[in-house]
Amino acid sequence: MKKIFYIFIFIVFFLNPAFAEENIDNEHQLNFFTGNFDFSDNKQKALLVGFQHQNENLNRNTFLGNVSPITGGFITENSAAYVYTGIEWNVDMGSLVFTPSFTPGYYHEGDGKDLGHALEFKSEVQLSYSASDKTNFGISYNHVSNASLGDKNPGANSYMFNFVKNF
């Protein structure tokens, strides 16, 4: 588990293009989060840590509103991991930002909960407070499910505390 954590830190801080010098115009957003994976299942709940990247240069105005691609992942204390890519909507409400998202991704069970399939879908809502133009603090809730693609579909409900930084 410690090896995975160190690899995670290396990728976020040293290989991520968001930290290149030319990206100083709030073009990238990183969301670092921690929380409780599958908090509604007493036998399977576990702490999680993760990150998410959004490139604001790729956002588009659509019939659904302003949509932006996101990519991220998380790992749990039970070595379960989820890596995803999808879309999010940022709804500016003054000092609050409401952010629903949908992301398909790859789930690896590790020693954690068997969600029934490798392909899982994460639906999430996040509410953030804008502490400055470059920093937000928020809370989020998500549900991960395989949409009955597997033999079973127990799903997992999670909540997280978010630190969002624009670069």
Domain ranges of the chain: 2-17+27-166
Question: Given this model, what pLDDT does residue 16 score?
Answer: 47
Residue type, 152: K
Mean pLDDT of 80-100: 93
> How far apart, in whole angstroms, are the C-alpha atoms of residue 86 and residue 107?
15
With 80 as the cut, is the pLDDT of residue 38 above it?
Answer: yes
Fold of 2-17+27-166: Porin (2.40.160)
Positions of E strands within the chain: 28-37, 46-55, 60-62, 65-76, 81-89, 91-93, 96-108, 119-130, 135-145, 156-166
pLDDT at 34: 97
The answer to whether the CB of 30 falls within 8 A of the CB of 163 is no
Q: Strands 91-93, 81-89: parallel, antiparallel or unpaired by DSSP? A: unpaired
Quote the pTM value: 0.82
Is residue 84 a contact partner of residue 73, using CB atoms and an 8 Å limit?
A: yes
pLDDT higher than 60, residue 56: yes
Q: Are 64 and 75 in contact (CB under 8 A)?
A: no
Instruction: Single out the residue of 24, 16, 33, 22 nearest to residue 139, CA to CA.
Output: 33
pLDDT at site 21: 43
Rg of the chain over Cα atoms, rounded to whole angstroms, equals 16
User: pLDDT digits over 121-164, tens only?
Assistant: 999 999 999 999 899 999 999 999 999 999 999 999 999 999 99
